[in-house]
Structure 1
């Protein structure tokens, strides 16, 4: 999509929608698919292999282990 159209499209969306768009554009996950109105699917295996997921899983593990 040409950058002009992207800028024009961003004028019509809310701040929350802009945040979602940026998150999708910078995501490591490439398997995402729109399957309905507002429904987004992703491959769970691909998600669990991302750096961000692994960092959060490590943090969760530390929290669980510290509460024992």
Structure 2
């Protein structure tokens, strides 16, 4: 299980510099490169939302 501190270390390793917009863009690109979303249609509210640490560990989430 990933902890919030592990995610903070990962983000710090990105060495975000520049304007706020540039930092957000770099962080967004990093997350897009490692996370995928899938759509599962079994009915409305069949599954509870995935926790952030589970999404981080598996690299995907349902939307």
TM-score normalized with structure 2 length: 0.30
Q: Which has the higher contact order (CA 8 A, sep 6+)?
A: 2
TM-score normalized with structure 1 length: 0.29
Q: Which has the larger radius of gyration?
A: 1
